[in-house]
Amino acid sequence: MSSDDKNHQQGADMGRRRMLIGATSALGAVGVGFVAVPFLKSWMPSARAKAVGAPVEVDLRTVKPDQIIKVMWRGQTIGIMNRSKKLLDRIGGHDEQLSDPGSAVIDQQPEFAVNEFRSMKPEWLVLNMHCTHLGCIPQVLPEPGAYAWEADWPGGFFCPCHKSKFDLSGRVFKGVPAPTNLIIPPYSFLDNNTLIIGVSGAA
Ligand code: FES
């Protein structure tokens, strides 16, 4: 590629970045984390950015397969999970046990997430972690097996407050206190490695 072509490409990338971020100048950066590691404070957006609900940028290269990190956006805990094929294969096959397998309750996700994976890209689950019953944070339990509350747990999220259960797409099981699926926030991908929470858009 010639230097002119490179300059043109860099200019196009910068233009897309500006478009996604829009008028919001206080963009917070967040990043690395693992299951059971709640937050990495050094990469969190500033208090002012959080107060105004600024978009939050996440470096996806830091989220290893089958791990989840948690960041704050508009005062809410948002989980970003890198679902390998192993986890994606656990999402199908139990629709009859779910209250809303097809994401018919439209307030619970952007239109782009109305699919069984409830995501723009199947491998990336971006989820408001607050239980839709009374707001507790469910435990992340992706491994299937026999648990105290479920002899045949398919893997998913379990809310310890009142025992609501969600699958690995955040879809709620029948017969629990939570009335709806977990919320999918608006988000977009700046590029293959960069997620922006708070700006809804295409991949
Ligand atoms: S807050 Fe999760 S089940 Fe009640």
Q: How many CB atoms lie within 10 A of CB 58?
A: 28
Q: What are the tens digits of pLDDT across the range 2-15?
A: 545 554 455 444 44
Give 83 Cα–ligand 1 centroid separation in angstroms.
24
Asked whether 164 lines ligand 1 (CB < 6 A), one says yes
Give the CA distances from residue 182 to residues 33, 64, 168, 178, in Å, rounded to whole numbers and listed in that order.
21, 23, 11, 9
Structure tokens at 77: 């805990």
3-state secondary structure of 77: strand
Domains of the chain: residue spans and CATH = 3-197 (2.102.10.10)
Give 187 Cα–ligand 1 centroid separation in angstroms.
25
Asked whether 56 lines ligand 1 (CB < 6 A), one says no
Asked whether 137 lines ligand 1 (CB < 6 A), one says no
**Nearest CA owner, ligand 1 atom 1:** 134
Sequence-ordered alpha helix ranges (H) in 22-109: 47-51, 85-88
Asked whether 32 lines ligand 1 (CB < 6 A), one says no
Q: In what order do the strands lie in the sheet with 156-159?
A: 139-141, 156-159, 164-167
3-state secondary structure of 42: helix
Give the confidence band of 33 by pLDDT, cuts at 50, 70, 90: very low
Give 130 Cα–ligand 1 centroid separation in angstroms.
9
Atom in ligand 1 nearest the alpha carbon of residue 135: 1
Give the CA distances from residue 78 to residues 11, 18, 196, 199, in Å, rounded to whole numbers and listed in that order.
31, 23, 12, 14
Q: What are the tens digits of pLDDT across the range 130-182?
A: 999 999 999 999 999 999 888 989 999 999 999 999 999 999 999 999 999 99
Q: What are the tens digits of pLDDT across the range 38-95?
A: 444 434 555 665 556 799 999 999 999 999 999 999 999 999 999 999 999 999 889 9
Give 158 Cα–ligand 1 centroid separation in angstroms.
9
Q: Locate tokens 């991949």: which residue?
A: 203
Give the CA distances from residue 148 to residues 34, 63, 111, 145, 166, in Å, rounded to whole numbers and listed in that order.
25, 29, 35, 10, 16
Amino acid at site 60: L
Element (H, E) at 19: helix 3-21
Pick the closest to residue 79 from 32, 114, 126 (CA basis).
Answer: 126
Asked whether 134 lines ligand 1 (CB < 6 A), one says yes
3-state secondary structure of 103: coil
Distance from C-alpha of 200 to C-alpha of 168, rounded to nearest angstrom? 22
Give 165 Cα–ligand 1 centroid separation in angstroms.
9
